[in-house]
Amino acid sequence: MFRKPKRKLYALIFVLPTFAAFCIGFIYPFINGIRLSFFDFKVITKVKDFVGFDNYVKAFQNESFVRSIWYTALFVVVNVVLINLIAFFVAYALTIGIRGSNMYRTVFFMPNLIGGIVLGFIWKKIFGAILVHFGTTLTTNAGWGFWGLVILMCWQQAGYMMIIYIAGFQSVPSDLYEAAKIDGANKRQLLTNVTLPMMMPSITICTFLTLTNSFKLYDQNLVLTGGQPIVDGIPQTELIAHNIVRHYENMKTTAIGQAEGIIFFLIVVVVSLVQLWLTRRKEVQA
Amino acid sequence: MKKTHLKRAAAFLLTALMAGTALAGCGGSSSSKADSDTSSKAESGSKADDASVADLPGDPKAGKVYYLQFKPEQGDAWKALAEKYTKETGIPVTVVTAAEGTYETTLATEMTKTDAPTLFQVNGPVGLSNWSDFCYDLKGTELFANLTSQDYALTDGDAVKGVAYVIESYGIIYNKTLLQKYCDSDFATVKSIDEINSFEKLKTVADEIQANKDALGVKGAFTSAGMDPSSDWRFKTHLANLPIYFEYQDEGITSTDAIKGTYLENYKNMWDLYITDSTANKTQLSTKTGADAETEFIKGEAVFFQNGTWEYGAITEGGLKDEDLGMLPIYIGVGDEANQGLCTGSENYWCVNSEADKNDIAATIDFLNWCVTSETGTTDLAETMGFVIPFKNAKEAKNVFVKIDTDLTAAGKKPVSWNFTTMPSEDWKNGVGSALTQYAAGTGDWDAVKKAFVDGWASEYAKNNG
């Protein structure tokens, strides 16, 4: 009884450095970022006039920004579905006891260890070599650009999600299967009535991760297509993060880029909270 | 009881921290700046520049120089020159070179620091519009007075905001040995290099080289017109300068909010020539890099290579000799072609940070003046860096392309000025570049290029100046 508070005090002291770092590296820039989005500025230490919601209005008036929001939304939907389906079935295949499944697990996980820029360059070469036979390239054909990004993203993320799903499969108690089998359940029924409900926590976390990762994608987009091709001044394969950075880096639209960053933050928060709420509801207790 | 005390203490601590960071957020610039006395002086320094000052605003001996440099090729040479200056005068000079393609962002970041660059660069009028508030008025300084022509200064109203420090030229670099081989061949219509003085002749030569590439041992007349970001500026910016230049000449203007595109047909002809008589397949241009074209030229796989004086170092290091090299003006079939010179101008302007400490401003101006007047400075600029500087004490550069430009000008050819510095934005260039790539690949038509060029100009200009 008497030792407990002391421990808590220690815990607090130990947490402090990390917390301080969190404040310096996250909370302060975040609050300052919100403040900046209401000002006109080019250089963040030489902030000019307070402009209210002007930057936000201008952001929504910008065609390329609005397009990038919808483009990203489409990208996210396709990715969340594809990555989770692939990861789920690969995980399923690797838990039913195929020979060499440990090796396969490692192989599938590997792409995740490579950084986004490097991956982008590697796939740019691969796609280039393939598309040369069709007389086209990623940066001249917006359709290929989109699927290029999707393929790259699936390749990188599926392995990571697979690991989580494998852990999920292994945590389903075998007596549940036994009981279901005794009750006469067939394989499909086992999957839909036992495995899936028991896997909901894994599905929640994987959907969350793929959702946020797809929203935030920047490196791969930058290297693979860089927003090309541009039609009527609007990049056709530009995801929202790339659009924000491009606007922020252009000194004429730095402040607008800042406001776009805040809008982006709000979208991601709302969408991921809704997703968590939706999938959490389906989770069951064993 | 103890528990609640602790909870309270913890809550208090957290709140204090949060409030602390939040407050720091509001006053970020002032609180972080107060810890160094140089920056507090900087505030007063910025006020002083309103008054026009003929003499140096402070004591250079007490100042220091921080140069954020633009050209990656010359990074080391600048560092060496800075060291020599420090040795001679004791004034510390720091040179930092931004990574290729990141100058503006690096500058924006560096400018927020307590020790911001005292010396930075802009690329012309469009670049200046971003940084004009930070440019010290150089009017009345010795540096400005030393310019060979006031045209090399970047002005904003009455104030001299920037000074060009290097004059560069570009055109069509050719491999003299290979071109001579063509002229000597029996299939050649044009029998001497000197005869090539118009688009018609250039096209004839290029077409004949392309048709007989095996006989000449080349892969194409022109190196690949790569549209990778490392190479696309040669076409979306440098080649696009020509139709803009001739239009400006017609209209008697030096910049515009809406381009008409009078000579876009000529731009198209030139682009067609580049992508047809080429080492590379049209559809694959977006994957070709600047290094690809450079290698093709060095290996003798192509005869022509559109590039500039800055390419001299790379080409000669690659093994080509001075006597192998020549440069032709870019003939697009407009105007008095026989008397057209190379495209000559500058997109490198020095600007002194007006927000810097007075002594630092003085030290910076002194340093620049030393660079362009002293024996050591002018020698290094001309020989090590290969620059032609527009200052009275300039030394002659070794660069063979520079000599060609000098000779052409001496022979009465009229240089084409650099008007691409008036292009409305980076997005405009990217739009034109993307349309060119798609036109070449066959996924887009020339109308898209026209649209990006003409309509894009108007909309980008409005966006950035509205």
Q: What is the 3-state secondary structure (H, E, C) of B337-402?
A: HHHEEEEEECCCEEEEECCCCHHHHHHHHHHHHHHHHCHHHHHHHHHHCCCECCECCCCCCCCHHH
Give the position of tokens 């007006």: B354
Q: What angle do CA B270, B271, B276 make, to 5 degrees?
A: 100
Nearest CA in chain B to A249: B105
Predicted local confidence at residue A3, as pLDDT: 56
Residue ranges of domains in chain A: 54-281
Question: Do B425 and A42 make contact, defined as CB atoms within 8 angstroms?
Answer: no
Give the whole-number percent of chain A exceeding pLDDT 70: 97
The interface residues of chain B toward chain A in range 413-442, judged by CB-CB distance below 8 A, are: 425-428, 430-431, 433-435, 437-438, 441-442
What token pair was written down for B139?
A: 């009017």
Report whether pLDDT(A44) > 90. Answer: no
Question: Nearest CA of chain A to the CA of B231: how many Å?
Answer: 15
Residues in B closer than 8 angstroms to A139, CB to CB, are 227, 286, 434, 437
Predicted local confidence at residue B36, as pLDDT: 36
Residue B423: which of B412, B432, B414, B415 has the closest Cα? B432
Question: Do B130 and A43 make contact, defined as CB atoms within 8 angstroms?
Answer: no
Question: Do B3 and A5 make contact, defined as CB atoms within 8 angstroms?
Answer: yes
Report whether pLDDT(B123) > 90. Answer: no
Distances, alpha carbon A231 to alpha carbons A236, B431, B432, B452, in Å: 7, 7, 9, 8
Residue of B18, B106, B135, B284 to mutate, interface with A, max A Cβ within 10 Å = B284
Q: What is the DSSP string of B256-298?
A: -SS---TTHHHHHHHHHHHHHSBSS-GGGGGG--HHHHHHHHH
DSSP label at residue A171 = T
Report whether pLDDT(B25) > 70. Answer: no
How does residue B6 score in pLDDT terms, banded at 50, 70 and 90?
low
Measured CA to CA, the distance from residue B308 to residue B315 in angstroms comes to 11
Nearest by CB to B464, which of A45, A229, A252? Answer: A252
Report whether pLDDT(B170) > 90. Answer: yes
At B330-363, the pLDDT tens digits run 999 998 888 999 999 888 999 999 988 889 999 9
The interface residues of chain B toward chain A in range 15-74, judged by CB-CB distance below 8 A, are: 17-18, 20-22, 24-26, 28-29, 32-33
| Domain B42-167+346-392 listed as CATH 3.30.110.70 | no
> Is residue A171 within 8 angstroms of chain B, CB to CB?
no
At A251-263, the pLDDT tens digits run 788 889 999 999 9
Residue B328: which of B313, B306, B347, B349 has the closest Cα? B306
Predicted local confidence at residue A286, as pLDDT: 54
Residues in B closer than 8 angstroms to A12, CB to CB, are 10, 13
Measured CA to CA, the distance from residue B76 to residue A177 in angstroms comes to 70
Question: Do B286 and A139 make contact, defined as CB atoms within 8 angstroms?
Answer: yes
How does residue B30 score in pLDDT terms, banded at 50, 70 and 90?
very low
Cis bond leading into A29, ω under 30°? no
How does residue B278 score in pLDDT terms, banded at 50, 70 and 90?
very high
Between strands B302-308 and B220-222, the pairing is parallel
At B406-464, the pLDDT tens digits run 889 888 888 999 999 889 988 899 899 999 998 998 888 999 999 999 999 999 898 87
Residues in A closer than 8 angstroms to B108, CB to CB, are 42-43, 249, 251, 254
Between strands B159-164 and B349-352, the pairing is antiparallel
At A57-79, the pLDDT tens digits run 989 998 899 999 999 999 999 99
CA A61 to chain centre: 26
Predicted local confidence at residue A78, as pLDDT: 96
Report whether pLDDT(A267) > 50. Answer: yes
Low-confidence winner among B20-34, B155-169, B181-195 (lowest mean pLDDT): B20-34
At B63-92, the pLDDT tens digits run 899 999 998 878 888 999 999 999 989 999
The 3-state DSSP class for residue B162 equals strand
Report whether pLDDT(A276) > 70. Answer: yes
Distances, alpha carbon B346 to alpha carbons B120, B124, B151, B153, B350, in Å: 15, 8, 11, 10, 11
- The residue that leads in pLDDT, A135 or A35, is A35
Distances, alpha carbon B125 to alpha carbons B105, B130, B152, B275, in Å: 18, 9, 12, 32
Q: What is the DSSP string of B290-333?
A: HHHHHHHHHTTSEEEEEEEGGGHHHHHHTT--GGGEEEE----S
Predicted local confidence at residue B361, as pLDDT: 92
Predicted local confidence at residue A20, as pLDDT: 94
DSSP label at residue B54 = S
| Maximum mean pLDDT: which of A104-108, A139-143, B262-266 | B262-266
Kindly report the average pLDDT of chain B as a whole number.
84
The interface residues of chain B toward chain A in range 275-304, judged by CB-CB distance below 8 A, are: 283-284, 286-287
ipTM at complex level: 0.72
Query: What does the pLDDT average to over A194-219?
Result: 90
Measured CA to CA, the distance from residue B433 to residue B279 in angstroms comes to 20
How does residue B42 score in pLDDT terms, banded at 50, 70 and 90?
very low
Question: Do B448 and A233 make contact, defined as CB atoms within 8 angstroms?
Answer: no
Distances, alpha carbon B78 to alpha carbons B52, B82, B114, B401, in Å: 30, 6, 23, 22
Residue ranges of domains in chain B: 42-167+346-392, 170-342+412-465
| Domain B170-342+412-465 listed as CATH 3.40.50.2300 | no
CA B250 to chain centre: 25
Question: Nearest CA of chain A to the CA of B222: how many Å?
Answer: 21
How many angstroms separate the first and last alpha carbons of chain B?
A: 64
Predicted local confidence at residue B35, as pLDDT: 35
Residue A37: which of A278, A263, A271 has the closest Cα? A263
How does residue B248 score in pLDDT terms, banded at 50, 70 and 90?
very high
At A75-122, the pLDDT tens digits run 999 999 999 999 998 898 888 777 888 888 888 888 888 878 888 888
Measured CA to CA, the distance from residue A231 to residue A228 in angstroms comes to 9
H or E, element range at A116: helix A116-131
Residue B399: which of B152, B224, B232, B170 has the closest Cα? B170
Measured CA to CA, the distance from residue B334 to residue B242 in angstroms comes to 9
Fold of A54-281: MetI-like fold (1.10.3720)
